[in-house]
Amino acid sequence: MSENEESRPHILVIDDEAIALSNMSHVLIKEGYDVTTCKDGESGLNALRHTRFDLVLTDLHMPGIDGMDVLQHVHVTIPETPVIMITGHATLDSAVKAMKRGAYHYIAKPFRLDEAREIVKSALEFGRMKNENRELRQTIETLSNQTTIITQDLAVQRLLETARQIASTDTSVVINGESGTGKELMARFIHEHSPRANGPFVAFNCGALHEELAASELFGHEKGAFTGATARKIGLFEAADGGTLFLDEVTEMPLLMQVKLLRVLQEHELMRVGSTEPVNINVRVVAASNRDLKDAVDKGLMRDDLYFRLNVVTLSLPPLRERREDIPLLAYYLLRKYSTIIGHDVQEITPEALQRLLEYDFPGNIRELSNFIERGVALSSGPELGIEHLPHSLGALTVRVFTPEIATPPTTLEEQETEHIISVLKMADGNRTKAAKMLGIDRVSLWRKLKKLGIDDK
Q: pLDDT per residue over 359-414, tens digit each?
A: 898 999 999 999 999 999 999 989 999 999 998 877 654 443 333 333 334 445 56
For the segment(s) 154-316, the CATH number from 3.40.50.2300, 3.30.365.10, 3.40.50.300, 3.80.30.20 is 3.40.50.300
- Would you list the domain boundaries of the chain? 3-141, 154-316, 321-453
- What length does the chain have? 458
Q: Is the pLDDT of residue 58 over 70?
A: yes
For β-strands 269-271 and 278-280, DSSP reports them as antiparallel
332 CB burial (10 A radius; 0-12, 13-18, 19+) = buried
**How confident is the model at residue 457, as a pLDDT?**
47
> What is the dotted CATH code of the domain comprising 321-453?
1.10.8.60
CA 358 to each of CA 284, 327, 328: distance values in angstroms, whole numbers, following the listed order: 38, 7, 8
pLDDT bracket for residue 421 (50, 70, 90): confident
Reported as type and span, the H/E element at residue 108 is strand 105-108
pLDDT by residue (tens digit) across 196-235? 999 999 999 988 777 888 888 899 988 888 877 788 888 9
Residue 242 backbone zone (phi > 0: left; psi -120 to 50: alpha; other: beta): left
> Does 321-453 match 154-316 at the fold level?
no
pTM score of the predicted model = 0.59
pLDDT by residue (tens digit) across 134-180? 666 665 555 444 456 888 888 999 999 999 999 999 888 999 999 99
Query: What kind of fold does domain 3-141 have according to CATH?
Result: Rossmann fold (3.40.50)
The set of residues, in sequence order, having a beta carbon less than 8 Å from that of 315 and lying 6+ positions away, is: 159, 162, 163, 173, 174, 175, 176, 186
User: CA-to-CA distance for 370 and 343, rounded, in angstroms?
Assistant: 16
Peptide bond into 110 cis (omega under 30): yes
